[in-house]
Amino acid sequence: MPYLFTSESVSEGHPDKVADQISDALIDNFLAWDAESKVACETLVTTGQVILAGEVKSTVYLDVQKITRDVIRKIGYTKSEYMFEANSCGILSAIHEQSADINQGVDRQEKQQQGAGDQGMMFGYATSETTNYMPLALDLAHKLLLELAVLRRENKDITYLRPDAKSQVTIEYSDDHVPIRIEAIVISTQHDDFAPEKEMQDKIKEDVIAILIPRIKAQLPANLQQLFNGEIKYHVNPTGKFVIGGPHGDTGLTGRKIIVDTYGGKGAHGGGAFSGKDPSKVDRSAAYATRHIAKNLVAAGVCNEILVQVSYAIGVKDPMGIYVNTYNTAKVNLTDGEIADKITALFDMTPYGIETRLKLRNPIYSETAAYGHMGRENEIVTKVFEGANGEKKTVEVELFTWEKLDYQDQVKAAFGL
């Protein structure tokens, strides 16, 4: 019997994502000036206020106020009527030195012996239903908000948008897990107060359907364009009005959108957030590594869908174990346990091995902090960082290295494909 599956996304202006972006901007600035920095930074945002807290071991001093204001400005909180504005919000820093008890379990005289920064389990997932090997519902939910942000910044076709927004997509699947159609799309977007409530709601719904949706369809291959039909249920600003939003409408915290950040509810999640953590924290680095494994295995033709789990003990370099679930889609005559054994032989899953393979000690994290950490485009960019003394540093970095399909040949050789 056909079934429905739903995923959601949130925009860069959502209060939790504002917090994530500030935390990751601090990570990038620490790593740009001291690649060996150990950082765990949490951010809270609310009406007119930002609170920074966390633990750091680094040789560099940062102007955290300037970094924070730059992030808020880039997101688009630049007007006093938002009640949270880059130039005027208060910023309190309670960042202190990292615990020596934790650090002694991570740092080693030989870097190859580096222990895991925490215990826990991390999951990676990939599916062949989209070209970027992501679950379709989440991929569409992200695309809707990315394009809505483009429309907001263009300020031409739609002129009333504010930074905060959420999306949700429900897809009907056949018994054999093939997408049939889109059942429902939910868009809630913050907006200016420009007309009576019902008139505003009608105008926003009309613009979403007539302007946003065609721009999304144009980005998709023909088979996915066919999922958009006249029977889609659209719920646009279903409360009727969304003028009060962002950190003024809802307090934001780092690490509260872990499902949006990963696979939209498909596969599994180990519970650890990513943003604000340097790569010695396996919550982050091992989640990227298992995504890299899962994507390369599906792309190489080992299976159509896969979940990969890895687990660690704090201070111990070797993982406790690797688990695999191919959901009965394997194209090789191996059990999931045998596939896991081959993964163990192919990929170095020690913290140091992950950091070096995926180039994780570079300032690459600001770009991950909105619209998902997975399924993004691998590219090389140039970034400029300004130190507390005004000195500038230009760094060329490779983003989203865990999305590269650079292990396909090794995988095919190992599995005889």
Q: Is the pLDDT of residue 98 over 90?
A: no
Q: Which phi and psi angles does 300 have, rounded to 5°? A: -80, -10
**51 lies in some domain:** no
Q: Is the pLDDT of residue 103 over 60?
A: no
Q: Do 408 and 326 reside in the same domain of the chain?
A: yes
User: Is 38 annotated as belonging to a binding site?
Assistant: no
If we measure between CA atoms, which residue out of 123, 116, 103 comes closest to residue 312? 116
**Global pTM value:** 0.96
Residue by residue, DSSP assigns 320-389 as SEEEEE-TT-B-SS--HHHHHHHHHHHS--SHHHHHHHTTTTSS--GGGSSS-SSSPPPEEEEEEEE-TT
User: Is 273 annotated as belonging to a binding site?
Assistant: yes
Q: Do 214 and 312 reside in the same domain of the chain?
A: no
pLDDT at 115: 80
**196 lies in some domain:** yes
Burial of 346 (0-12, 13-18, 19+ CB in 10 A): middle
* Partners of residue 50 on adjacent β-strands: 45, 91
Q: Do 404 and 296 reside in the same domain of the chain?
A: yes
Q: Do 309 and 411 reside in the same domain of the chain?
A: yes
The residue from 218, 244, 270 where one domain ends is: 244
User: Is 338 annotated as belonging to a binding site?
Assistant: no
Residues 6+ apart with CB under 8 A from 33: 58, 59, 60, 62, 385, 387, 393
Residues 6+ apart with CB under 8 A from 79: 85
Q: Do 171 and 202 reside in the same domain of the chain?
A: yes
Q: Do 207 and 302 reside in the same domain of the chain?
A: no
Alpha carbon separation from 108 to 32, 50, 98, 359 (Å, rounded): 22, 35, 16, 19
Q: Is the pLDDT of residue 108 over 60?
A: no
pLDDT at 25: 98
Could you tell me the CATH number of the domain that includes residue 194?
3.30.300.10
User: Is 404 annotated as belonging to a binding site?
Assistant: no
Percent residues over pLDDT 90 in the chain? 93
**Strands 38-46 and 179-191: what pairing?**
unpaired
User: Chain-wide mean pLDDT for the chain?
Assistant: 95
What tens digit of pLDDT does each residue of 21-39 get? 999 999 999 999 999 999 9
User: Is 318 annotated as belonging to a binding site?
Assistant: no
Q: Do 124 and 159 reside in the same domain of the chain?
A: no
**352 lies in some domain:** yes
Q: Do 201 and 297 reside in the same domain of the chain?
A: no
**145 lies in some domain:** yes
User: Is 250 annotated as belonging to a binding site?
Assistant: yes
Q: Do 407 and 301 reside in the same domain of the chain?
A: yes
Tell me the C-alpha distance between 222 and 111, whole Å: 49
**65 lies in some domain:** no
How many other β-carbons are positioned within 10 Å of the β-carbon of residue 121? 22
User: Is 281 annotated as belonging to a binding site?
Assistant: yes
Q: Is the pLDDT of residue 60 over 80?
A: yes
Segments forming the whole domain that contains residue 380: 120-128+282-415
Q: Between the CA atoms of 79, 84, 85 and 89, what dihedral angle is there, to the nearest 10 degrees?
A: 150
Q: Do 304 and 342 reside in the same domain of the chain?
A: yes
359 within 8 A of 130, measured Cβ to Cβ: no
**Strands 49-57 and 90-97: what pairing?**
parallel
Reported residue count of the chain is 417
What tens digit of pLDDT does each residue of 253-271 get? 999 999 999 999 999 999 9
User: Is 359 annotated as belonging to a binding site?
Assistant: no
78 within 8 A of 86, measured Cβ to Cβ: yes
Residues 6+ apart with CB under 8 A from 229: 181, 182
Q: How many folded domains does the chain comprise?
A: 2
User: Is 165 annotated as belonging to a binding site?
Assistant: yes
Alpha carbon separation from 391 to 31, 72, 381, 384 (Å, rounded): 15, 22, 20, 10
pLDDT at 122: 97
User: Is 317 annotated as belonging to a binding site?
Assistant: no
What tens digit of pLDDT does each residue of 200-231 get? 999 999 999 999 999 999 999 999 999 998 89
Q: Which helix (H) or strand (E) holds 416?
A: none
133 within 8 A of 402, measured Cβ to Cβ: no
What tens digit of pLDDT does each residue of 269-310 get? 999 999 999 999 999 999 999 999 999 999 999 999 999 999
User: Is 35 annotated as belonging to a binding site?
Assistant: no
Burial of 97 (0-12, 13-18, 19+ CB in 10 A): exposed
User: Is 242 annotated as belonging to a binding site?
Assistant: yes
Alpha carbon separation from 123 to 89, 100, 247 (Å, rounded): 37, 29, 30
Q: Do 324 and 357 reside in the same domain of the chain?
A: yes
Give the residue, 160 or 229, on which the prediction is more confident: 160
